[in-house]
Structure 1
Amino acid sequence: MYIPPAFKDDDIESIRATIHGARLANLVTATVEGPVATPLPLFLDESEGEHGVLYGHLARANSQWKLPPIGNALAIFSGPDVYVTPSWYATKQETGKVVPTWNYVAVHAYGPVEFFQEPERLLDAVTRLTNRHEGARTKPWAVTDAPADFIAAQLRGIVGVRIPVVRFEGKRKMSQNRPEADRVGVAAGLAASDNVHDREVAPMIPVPI
């Protein structure tokens, strides 16, 4: 990922927050047949290894797990993103030398991928992933709510994914490279937008307090 110095995010807590906040990731592996990618939810176990370990699962019918990976796998996590119109820049009024851009947050995690099929490991990964997404619900659903034989049959239809992370790349592009007046304009424009996603990003633009 191309990361200019102004946009580099190497704060581990910020990186973890982006991963935890992402509802869906993209798992990319290089193979002799070319790159293969699958959208899937992944969770980071921070207690394992130096950088943590990512877990998830693929459908058994998905050929990605059958193709031997070349080098490390790549897991892509996307955070908030917004279109930025040059109309919000003070510089537009001053020189007119402005163009549109896109602000966004992204994390790339790299590591060797392992695909596993042991029922107990699959059940553990599925249970932990389920608990992560159900935990905030008033009446959370649990894997144990379903009949054990039904869950066992479902597990036979998936393959587990385990990626010990060897490095992260974090990028937080939030107009840091623009003059202060332009950043103020972007924050104000996003805050006044009818789009809820725009309004959520507005506080992320670095402006004077």
Structure 2
Amino acid sequence: MVPALHFRYEHTAHHTHTNLIGQDSELIPMPATFPAYFWYLSGLPYWASNGLGILRRSIGKLTGEEIGFIPTAWRRRVIWESRVLLVLYAAAGLAIATGAYALLFYWVIPLLLGQPVMRFIRMTEHVGCAHERDPARNTRSTRVAWPWQFLAWNMNFHGEHHLSPLVPFHALPALNRLLQGQIPVRKGYIGGHREIWGSLRSGKGPVC
């Protein structure tokens, strides 16, 4: 449900201004409470934000933030991308309503079930980290079992990815070894969430 062209520029802004308030287009705010933490993990805010974003752009409206990271020459294409996606999603919804249940069971339901897992992983990357430009402070890397690492395309080495975004995914473990601890590595995704939980309990600032 992420428009590819829009994502290209949004994610570029994320890498340019990682975890900087008001500049990082993908910044996930530190939840103020545990209910807010679990609300984000549900994936519902993600679906609402993306769905409303597609609708808004389909009628030609870009936010100030989007105007900031989408080059002028590409804004019209981003708007048309949303319009095309809106038509495709409407067609998919109609197909499901008229009996194309394969779309429901092999696309919609996996998306809904997978998104909380994705949110769980995404939160460990930057939430609760410092709002500054140092990748060792604004991003977490995590040490995970090889099946997770394989499925994540080595993106558990997220600090390394942000330090050198042009390094291909398969070379991130080697970059981690080369840096010899310059990017702190947490123990597992649970380790990252423990830091977030601790910050929620204490009300203290960044823990990265």
Same fold (TM over 0.5): no
Relative to total residues, which structure has the larger helix share, 1 or 2?
2
Relative to total residues, which structure has the larger strand share, 1 or 2?
1
TM-score normalised per structure 2: 0.24
Structure with the greater alpha carbon radius of gyration:
1
TM-score normalised per structure 1: 0.24
